[in-house]
Amino acid sequence: MRYDVSRIRALLEQRKPGHTLPQAFYRDPEFHEFDLDAIFGRRWLFAGLEIDLPKPTGYVTLKIGRSSVVLVRAADGQIRGFFNTCRHRGAEICQETQGRVGRLVCPYHQWTYGLDGQLLAAGGMPADFDKSSHGLKPIHLEVVAGTIFICLADSPPDFAPIKEGFEPLLAPHQLAEAKIAHEATIVEKGNWKLVMENARECYHCHARHPELMKCFPDIPKKKHRTDEPATTAFIEACEAKGLPTGPFIHEGFEANRFALRGGARSFTLDGQPAVKKLLGNVGDGNIGSLRFALDPNSFAHAVGDYAFLFWCWPKGPEETLVHMKWVVNKDAVEGADYDLARLTQLWQTTNDQDLWLVENNQRGVNSEGYQSGPYSPENERTLIQFTDWYVTQARRALS
């Protein structure tokens, strides 16, 4: 065991509900190992988009803790996931983060796998060697309306309720037929829980994100949306356009469509759409935002003209890899239908601000003076939920 179970158990017992976690959870290498096992090794994780692998033979690799996994689209069009580990002596097979391959060939002794994971060739092995029992180890993978979710556990939690509840909300946005206008990857010097806590609350938004708050509403004060008459009218208008509004909530997953502030139609600096061609079957595009978020590692917003997706992987106790993607209509042409700087400006600015907030939070949490602090029940409902969810998963893993 790479971590001391009794120490983690003791600190879980000391944890005060409604408060931030004890310091070790945010910075101790042993607790990082625990998170890789208890959370990232067992839960469903957001892992990208179908259009990351637009054609058969496309692949992407992801590094989740110590494990590299490869997602690959085979000739049958289906996307599958495997541990990126050769069944011969364990070498890593795919080296790049993204590419095209006809076969998965291990660079060590050239064992060769099909894109369905089957071992096709293993030169020099005895004639009676059973190739069929040496295929790549699969991981569980689900595609929902163009988004990809994976689980590394042998027996994953039931994904069917999420798929069933979420698909009708996301499907009209047609992410499977969209195009990636821009993507960025950054390393934040902060524990993944600080990255996600920061991404889950908007208590800091008025002070730290003046640009975002021109269009982001003050919603969730213990709720998913306000009770104002305008909210009811918004929901009715969306439903009339064939866009369900939710909320749909299931074990660490949440999806909810809400109106933007002050009549804004998109997440841009002036609240006006950044892309002339709308994304998906979204009527006039004045549809607020469908926000969806999965614990432990992602959130996203789909507005009428684009979708923004954010997800992360823990790299170390105080280091997190963050992915961001901006997705638009597949026929939208840069320069003609949208200006890339205008499209990306709001979330890029917001994420630059958040990067500083996360790293600053980590610096303060590392202090000898750090003590667990109280969340605001009014403004940090989602963080109380997040840490409760985390503690529940942690206890489950230790039971």
Minimum gap (Å) between residue 122 Cβ and ligand FES: 7
Q: With contact defined as beta carbons under 8 Å apart, do 379 and 218 qualify?
A: no
- Told to check if 380 binds Fe ion by CB under 5 A, we report no
Minimum gap (Å) between residue 104 Cβ and ligand FES: 10
219-278 binders of ligand FES (CB under 6 A): none
Q: What residues does 320 pair with on adjacent strands?
A: 188, 314
E strands present in 189-270: 248-250, 253-258
Q: Which does 354 bind (CB under 5 to 8 A by kind): ligand FES, Fe ion, none?
A: Fe ion
Position among 38, 49, 70, 106 found at the interface with ligand FES (CB under 6 A): 106
Q: What is the CA radius of gyration of the chain?
A: 22
Q: What residues does 186 pair with on adjacent strands?
A: 322
Among 151, 181, 177, 179, CA closest to 163: 151
Q: Which does 19 bind (CB under 5 to 8 A by kind): Fe ion, ligand FES, none?
A: none
3-22 binders of ligand FES (CB under 6 A): none
Distance CA 155, CA 152 (A): 9
Residue 101 CB neighbour total at 10 angstroms: 16
Q: What's the one-letter identity of residue 302?
A: A
Q: With contact defined as beta carbons under 8 Å apart, do 73 and 79 qualify?
A: yes
Among 291, 289, 307, CA closest to 299: 291
Position among 89, 103, 221, 276 found at the interface with ligand FES (CB under 6 A): 89
- The region, left, alpha or beta by phi > 0 then psi within -120 to 50, assigned to residue 240 is alpha
Copy the structure tokens of residue 216: 């982001």
Nearer to Fe ion, 305 or 354 (CB): 354
Nearer to Fe ion, 178 or 264 (CB): 264
Q: What residues does 67 pair with on adjacent strands?
A: 64
Q: Which does 89 bind (CB under 5 to 8 A by kind): Fe ion, ligand FES, none?
A: ligand FES
Q: Which does 77 bind (CB under 5 to 8 A by kind): Fe ion, ligand FES, none?
A: none
Q: Which stretch binds Fe ion (CB under 5 A): 22-30, 129-137, 148-156, 350-358?
A: 350-358
Residue 200 CB neighbour total at 10 angstroms: 20
Position among 142, 295, 354, 380 found at the interface with Fe ion (CB under 5 A): 354
- Told to check if 201 binds Fe ion by CB under 5 A, we report no
- Told to check if 88 binds ligand FES by CB under 6 A, we report yes
Minimum gap (Å) between residue 90 Cβ and ligand FES: 6
Minimum gap (Å) between residue 197 Cβ and Fe ion: 10
- Told to check if 109 binds ligand FES by CB under 6 A, we report yes
Nearer to ligand FES, 17 or 124 (CB): 124
Query: CA dist 272 to 264, 305, 329, 342, 385, Å?
Result: 6, 10, 16, 10, 33
Nearer to ligand FES, 111 or 216 (CB): 111
Minimum gap (Å) between residue 105 Cβ and ligand FES: 9
Binding residues for Fe ion, per CB under 5 A? Answer: 354
